[in-house]
Amino acid sequence: MSYKKKQTRLSAILGALVLSVLVSVVLLAVASPALASVGAPTYVRQWGSYGTSGGQFNYPQTLTLDSSGHIWVADDENNRVQVFTGTGDLLKLLADSAHMGTGGDVNGVAFDSSGNVFVSLQTSKILKYSSEGIFISTYASGMSTDWALISPHQICIVDDHLYVASTGTHKILKFTTAGTAGTLEATYGSGGSGNGQFSYPYGVAVDSAGNIYVADSGNNRIQKLDSSGAWVWTVGGPSSGTGDSQFNFPIGLCLDPASGDVLVADIYNYRVSRFTSSGAFVVRWGTEGTGNGQFKYPCGVAATSGGDIYVLEQSGNRIQQFGPAPADTTAPVITGPGNKSATAASGSSTASISFSASASDNVDASVTVHYWLAYGTVSASEITSPYSFPIGVTTVTCTAQDAAGNNATPVTFTATVSAASSVTLTGFLAPVDVSPVWNIVRNAGQVIPLKWRATQNGSGVAVSGANVTMTTTGGLGAVNPFFADAVEEYAPGGSSLQYLGDGYYQINWATPKAYAKTSKILTLSFKDGSGVTVGTLVALFTFLK
């Protein structure tokens, strides 16, 4: 039966609403093709083609792995279940036209702890077979209106409880697996688009804690419920889309036994997506096509604890096997945030600045960036945005490491905070006096300590980290002893700027011997981080010899 005919038959069961959903998502898929994937697992092999012989498929629906790693495929239009090894060798066929029908009804397969096989049928039945494939009973069929079983699709068994995606009733049903007739234990959900509601759910998977993951196909989303059926999170929906956390009629899903991640067969986006158990996007791969790693309506997915992933294609009539993704050796690259600046409020010595950098590589779409002050020293401290920077220029170092431990090349940016308008300079402090007092230096060539204090706008708030420039000019003429103060002839160090704390600064001015018998005007320009002069000090010096 062709794909279009199949959907026509389903629509008679599901109603006109699901048909309209299917049409709309197909159109959207054509208008907005899926994006290329990154960090995809490695293609290994494929098998299958269209046909009726063993190893061929006709509109398969789901695939499931048993405890031996064998792959069981619900081969719908061939009215059978096929079993393969993990490398694609056909092991056996479970064909039972007397119970499975002849009209294309086989939807899902699951196994209990005794190896019994459960098969869901489009005709609102679940069949139970022994591990040898001997029919045991029609385990569940029809049921009452309140506990209806209509169009069961994907099924799974955890701790001998059978979970069924009842597509036509917009619910997840839970049965015991003991005996020949199923006992319904609980139902989850109802028709709708709210949290915990479903629209034609096709896929279901359950983890060891009893959390339930549902491919809420008609709502274009995945939902997680806890073991009591309470809603936990939703990814995607209600509209279809091609973004990382969007879907176009997700139809099959499974849980990765190694990581607990959720793998989703996104049928009309022609791709498989991986999410963490908390709903965070990890990676996606696949585009429309028939090549290796491409998909033609992927409808089922299964994963092994060793990292192998099997994807079943509904119209491609094949299974593709993928191995673990290649080792990630690519370091992320940091972009941004660029230098930042702000002006402190009047009376404040700091200003809050927001900043944001990003990092990614060809494997990791997003990597967390860390921001450090004094990076590379034992006093390095990590900061987050926004951060209150002091007046002046502060350098911040950005680092990043991806999940594989690859480190990005660090990137730095500056955060410049300007004073509100000006600063008040107190000084010079002894032994230097400010103009018009002349400071007498007996011998040129001495190092003179010039010390002052800077506060913002006279508020008493210390200003730190600003830039200071020093210039000298000559031409004062003869010494006037009536205005002279002696200057200490010794100070340690050469010409350098020191910040002493609490707004105090000191320049050790190394005067050249050529200043002997001259007078000099010394001007200190106090500048904010952006280079704007916000205060000056002037002192007069005469060098006797």
Q: Which tens digits make up the pLDDT trace of 4-36?
A: 334 433 333 333 333 233 322 222 222 222 223
Residue type, 498: Q
CA 426 to chain centre: 52
Euclidean distance between the first and final Cα of the chain, in Å?
Answer: 111
Low-confidence ranges of the chain (pLDDT < 50): 1-38, 475-492
Read off the tokens for 343.
């002006």
Sign of torsion over alpha carbons 158, 324, 85, 263: positive
* 116, burial (CB in 10 Å: exposed 0-12, middle 13-18, buried 19+): buried
Cβ distance 322 to 271 under 8 Å? no
Alpha-carbon span 268 to 27, nearest angstrom: 9
pLDDT of residue 162: 96
| Tokens standing for residue 79 | 């009215």
Q: Is the peptide bond before 386 cis (omega within 30 degrees of 0)?
A: yes
Can you name the residues that pair with 526 across neighbouring β-strands? 468, 535
CB of 294 closer than 8 Å to CB of 342: no
Question: pLDDT for 290-317, tens place per residue?
Answer: 999 999 999 999 999 999 999 999 999 9
Cβ distance 323 to 42 under 8 Å? Answer: yes
CA dihedral 464, 465, 466, 469 (to 10 degrees): 120
53 CB burial (10 A radius; 0-12, 13-18, 19+)? exposed
The Cα–Cα gap between 139 and 426 comes to 93
Ordered structural domains, the chain, with CATH: 3-323 (2.120.10.30), 333-418 (2.60.40.10), 423-543 (2.60.40)
Strands (E), 333-466: 333-335, 340-343, 350-353, 358-360, 369-373, 381-383, 387-390, 392-400, 411-418, 423-429, 438-441, 447-456
3-state percent breakdown (helix, strand, coil) of the chain, nearest 5: 10, 45, 45
Residue 262, Cβ neighbours under 10 Å: how many?
25
- Token pair, residue 471, equals 């210039």
Q: Which pair of structure tokens corresponds to residue 324?
A: 């673990």
Alpha-carbon distance of 95 to 28, in angstroms, equals 37
Treating both helix axes as pointing N-terminal to C-terminal, what angle do 16-31 and 3-14 enclose, rounded to 10 degrees? 140
Cβ neighbourhood burial of 68 (10 Å; 0-12, 13-18, 19+):
exposed
Pairing of strands 447-456, 504-510: antiparallel
In this predicted structure, what is the pLDDT of residue 27?
A: 26
Give me the pLDDT at residue 357, please.
Answer: 94
Exposure of 474 by Cβ count < 10 A (0-12 exposed, 13-18 middle, 19+ buried)?
exposed
- Rounded CA separation 66/72 (Å): 8
Q: In the prediction, which pLDDT does 484 show?
A: 36
